[in-house]
Amino acid sequence: MTIPESFEEDRRDAMPADESDAAQLVLDIDGFEGPIDMLLALAREQKVDLTHISILQLADQFLTFVAEARRVRLELAADYLVMAAWLAYLKSRLLLPDPDPEEPSGEDLAAALTFQLQRLEAMQEAGTRLMARPQLGREVFARGNPEGVDLIRKSSFDLTLYDLLKAYGDFKRRQQASTFHIAPTDLYSIEDAVKRLSDMLGRMPDWVTLSSFLPRNWSDGTITGRSALAAHFLATLELAKSGQLEVRQEGAFGPIYLRRASPAS
Amino acid sequence: MAALPPTTDRHQQIRLIEALLFASPEPLDEAALGSRLPEGTDVAGLMAELQGLYANRGINLVRTGGRWWFCTARDLAELMRVEEEVSKKLSRAAIETLAMIAYHQPVTRAEIESIRGVATSKGTLDLLMEAGWIRPGRRRETPGRPLTWVTTDHFLDHFGLDSLRDLPGVEELRAAGLLDSRPMFGSLPEAGEAGGE
Amino acid sequence: MAALPPTTDRHQQIRLIEALLFASPEPLDEAALGSRLPEGTDVAGLMAELQGLYANRGINLVRTGGRWWFCTARDLAELMRVEEEVSKKLSRAAIETLAMIAYHQPVTRAEIESIRGVATSKGTLDLLMEAGWIRPGRRRETPGRPLTWVTTDHFLDHFGLDSLRDLPGVEELRAAGLLDSRPMFGSLPEAGEAGGE
């Protein structure tokens, strides 16, 4: 890595110290900007041009790292787990004959990964080169005390787009803060939903949609309305689990029907 | 490029003095300049040479109160004098009002007041109109036919926007960090989100 | 003393340009300079001559983003360098994000994330925008109409670039196909929600 760790902004919690190599690697995760950045660092260790790296070896190294991290119970960001799953898939595609001509071949996938690594490397180098240029106010200076000549016909108000957006953002935030001040007390609890469903089910022996159980004025798509829906859905699962209720759904996103569990079934 | 250590060479010494005076927000005396040069350097001699170099230029090197500075040539003063406009800062209320009009246009003054929750002074709208950023739009066809306000083309020019559609929406402001909501509720989508259009 | 009307004489024209650029708090384009000179004046020719006059001086005449300004000579950087306050140091994430925007512009946040393979932490874009280096560009005419980000003229000034074509290595990167911001394969892992925060 050409850039010292002190540049990092996305530090994760420090890991407990351990003598093993794995812990050493684990400690190093602080130095990476996500899984592709880590893969790039591993690839550089192969000390060949990125187009000639061994993708298999790279995948193995990464998978070993993830396995070790799990062994020492390090909580990895989801990005790393997704990448590990993808690399395992890539590995299988590289090692096994292609089962399905419709899907991209292992070589195609490896090429895509190589490109991704090259592209990130290019941008990391570009960033370094950019920052190495003489910068205004650091190595190069404009006139220290310009008298000012108003030449360009422009508004005399000193307002940038940033100021404008910031003002709107601040306003929105204040508005949200006041909205949310009372919102939490309106959320529907699962306990309430279980109680409500249990009370009503006794009177409804036949299939009824879940939504018809929702309290009036709570099915309007607001946060509180959605909290009622979520609470009632969880309550449904809870009651089904304890055998008090049967649930039926025709297909994904279809309406959910419930009825009192008949003692016979 | 790696320059020669400039302090050893007379030409480089002059160049350094030139750059230092140019970048300094205030005039510098010879002691201050000398502190950037090797001990024993003939600063006064260098200054005289530099002054000569600029004698006929549009910028002159002058000394007042024992301190040196560059200034524009006196004889150009007549041509340099332009209607000197001081750049003014807008009040927070004015910036917010402009943001409301930008995001909610066409919008009436009463609507701006109800969104912001405070009264808008007539002066604020006048100021924004004077800056050329807003103009009256159509009247709203409601009782009292109130005037609406919209932004101008000059508004787009000033902020480097191609069209009003290029104003970031609320979600994008949030994503850019301009709307750091409290973490607990940050993930909850807002009820009845207006989307900032 | 009353000077000759300087606009009729080439030397005086150059002196006036010199003084105007020297006094202006921001870079000026040739149109702005030309508006102070008689119609039909060869401003570009005058600029070339003036630039030549300052080529070896401690102050140089430079053009970035199509606008002219004086600044201290690059080769004096070592002697002029001011230590940055620690707070001004950019994070690696911010530098990388700035490079993505500079080289891939206009680029959406999702594209930046797909190239970096990690979610953009809140505040990174905010920071770059506050520095005056980036701004929102046009929306992409694709589903969701995402906002794009582009660099500003101030970005060019700050890094001493005449235009985006002068970004270090940009032609080689383009020729190597590395400035393609499309995701390569749908099957490549996308930056997850959880990453990088």
Beta-strand ranges (E) seen in A205-244 are 208-209
Question: Of the given ranges (B33-37, B69-73, B78-82, C13-17), which has the lowest mean pLDDT?
Answer: B78-82
The pLDDT of residue C82 is: 64
The pLDDT of residue B151 is: 92
CB C32 within 8 A of CB C124: no
Angstrom distance (rounded) from CA A150 to CA B133: 19
* Closest chain A C-alpha to B40 CA, distance in angstroms: 26
Q: Which carries the bigger pLDDT value, residue A215 or residue B48?
A: B48
Nearest to C117 by CA among C45, C194, C23, C173: C194
Q: Which of B20, B36, B58 faces C19 most closely, judged by CB atoms? A: B58
Please name the residue of chain B whose CA is at the shortest distance from the CA of residue A221. B191
Question: Cβ contacts (< 8 Å) between A161 and chain B: which residues?
Answer: 159-161
- What are the extents of the domains in chain C? 10-80, 92-175
The alpha-helical segments, DSSP class H, found in C10-119 are 10-23, 30-34, 43-54, 77-80, 92-104, 109-116
Question: Cβ contacts (< 8 Å) between C122 and chain B: which residues?
Answer: 175-177, 180
CB contacts < 8 A (B, C): 109
Angstrom distance (rounded) from CA A215 to CA A208: 14
Angstrom distance (rounded) from CA C180 to CA C190: 16
User: Helix (H, G, I), strand (E, B), or coil: what is residue B8?
Assistant: helix
Cβ contact, residue pair A223, B181, below 8 Å:
no
**Considering just the CA atoms, what is the radius of gyration of chain B in Å?**
28
Cβ contact, residue pair B57, C15, below 8 Å:
yes
Mean pLDDT of B146-171: 84
The pLDDT of residue C56 is: 92
Cβ contact, residue pair B58, C23, below 8 Å:
no
Cβ contact, residue pair C192, A78, below 8 Å:
yes
Cβ contact, residue pair B15, C58, below 8 Å:
yes
User: Helix (H, G, I), strand (E, B), or coil: what is residue C147?
Assistant: strand
Question: Cβ contacts (< 8 Å) between B25 and chain A: which residues?
Answer: 144-145
Angstrom distance (rounded) from CA A55 to CA A63: 12
Cβ contact, residue pair B80, C20, below 8 Å:
yes
| Number of CB atoms found within 10 A of residue A203's CB | 7
Tell me the CATH number for domain C92-175: 1.10.10.10
Question: Cβ contacts (< 8 Å) between B189 and chain A: which residues?
Answer: 223
Cβ contact, residue pair A77, C196, below 8 Å:
yes
List residues of chain C with CB under 8 Å from any CB of chain B. Answer: 1, 3, 6-7, 14-20, 22-23, 36, 56-59, 70, 72-76, 78-80, 109, 120, 122-127, 129, 135-139, 145, 147, 152
Q: Identify from B178, B181, B184, B193 which residue to disrupt to test chain A contact, counting A C-beta atoms within 10 A and taking the largest count.
A: B178
Angstrom distance (rounded) from CA A130 to CA A136: 12
Angstrom distance (rounded) from CA C125 to CA B171: 14
Q: Identify from C33, C83, C92, C190 which residue to disrupt to test chain A contact, counting A C-beta atoms within 10 A and taking the largest count.
A: C92
**Which pTM value belongs to this model?**
0.59
Q: Which carries the bigger pLDDT value, residue C196 or residue A130?
A: A130
The pLDDT of residue C57 is: 93
Cβ contact, residue pair C75, B166, below 8 Å:
no
* Closest chain B C-alpha to A182 CA, distance in angstroms: 12
Question: Of the given ranges (A203-212, A251-260, C29-38), which has the lowest mean pLDDT?
Answer: A203-212
User: Helix (H, G, I), strand (E, B), or coil: what is residue A87?
Assistant: helix
Cβ contact, residue pair B160, C14, below 8 Å:
no
Instruction: Give the confidence band of C70 by pLDDT, cuts at 50, 70, 90.
Output: very high
Placement of tokens 């649930």 in the chain? A247
Question: Cβ contacts (< 8 Å) between C1 and chain B: which residues?
Answer: 75
Tell me the HSE value of C197 on the side-chain side, using a 13 A CA sphere.
11
Beta bridge partners, B62, equal B69
Cβ contact, residue pair B95, A164, below 8 Å:
yes
Mean pLDDT for chain C overall: 83
* Closest chain A C-alpha to B175 CA, distance in angstroms: 11
* Closest chain A C-alpha to B37 CA, distance in angstroms: 18
Mean pLDDT of B131-151: 89
Mean pLDDT of A226-249: 84
Question: Cβ contacts (< 8 Å) between A165 and chain B: which residues?
Answer: 99, 167-168, 173, 178
Name the burial class of residue C113, with classes exposed (0-12), middle (13-18) and buried (19+) by CB atoms within 10 angstroms of its CB.
buried
Cβ contact, residue pair C185, A138, below 8 Å:
no
- Chain segment A130-165, per-residue pLDDT in tens: 888 878 777 777 787 776 654 444 446 778 888 888
Q: Identify from C96, C112, C127, C133 which residue to disrupt to test chain A contact, counting A C-beta atoms within 10 A and taking the largest count.
A: C96
The pLDDT of residue C92 is: 87
Cβ contact, residue pair A131, C28, below 8 Å:
no
The pLDDT of residue B193 is: 37
Question: Of the given ranges (A97-101, B191-195, C30-34), which has the lowest mean pLDDT?
Answer: B191-195
Question: Cβ contacts (< 8 Å) between B177 and chain C: which residues?
Answer: 122-127
User: Are the folds of C10-80 and C92-175 the same?
Assistant: yes
* Token couple for B192: 């009845």
Mean pLDDT of B65-82: 79
Nearest to C164 by CA among C172, C152, C179, C177: C152
Identify the helix (H) or strand (E) that includes residue B113. Answer: helix B109-116
CB A83 within 8 A of CB C189: yes
Mean pLDDT of A94-121: 83
Mean pLDDT for chain B overall: 79
| Number of CB atoms found within 10 A of residue B75's CB | 17
- Please check whether the domain covering C10-80 is classified as CATH 1.10.10.10: yes
Cβ contact, residue pair A7, C91, below 8 Å:
yes
Cβ contact, residue pair C137, B178, below 8 Å:
no
Q: Identify from A143, A154, A161 which residue to disrupt to test chain C contact, counting C C-beta atoms within 10 A and taking the largest count.
A: A143
How many residues can be counted in chain B? 197
Angstrom distance (rounded) from CA B63 to CA B51: 10
* Token couple for C5: 């009307």
Q: Identify from A50, A98, A133, A140 which residue to disrupt to test chain C contact, counting C C-beta atoms within 10 A and taking the largest count.
A: A140
pLDDT exceeds 60 at position B190: no
The pLDDT of residue B177 is: 77
**Considering just the CA atoms, what is the radius of gyration of chain C in Å?**
21
Please name the residue of chain C whose CA is at the shortest distance from the CA of residue B84. C24
Question: Cβ contacts (< 8 Å) between C14 and chain B: which residues?
Answer: 58
The pLDDT of residue B16 is: 92
DSSP state, A140?
B
The pLDDT of residue B179 is: 67
CB B3 within 8 A of CB B12: yes
Angstrom distance (rounded) from CA A193 to CA A230: 9
Angstrom distance (rounded) from CA C41 to CA B110: 52
CB contacts < 8 A (A, C): 196
Beta bridge partners, A208, equal A258
pLDDT exceeds 60 at position A106: yes
Mean pLDDT of B165-190: 62
Q: Which of B80, B87, B99 faces A168 most closely, judged by CB atoms? A: B99
Q: Which carries the bigger pLDDT value, residue A77 or residue B20?
A: B20
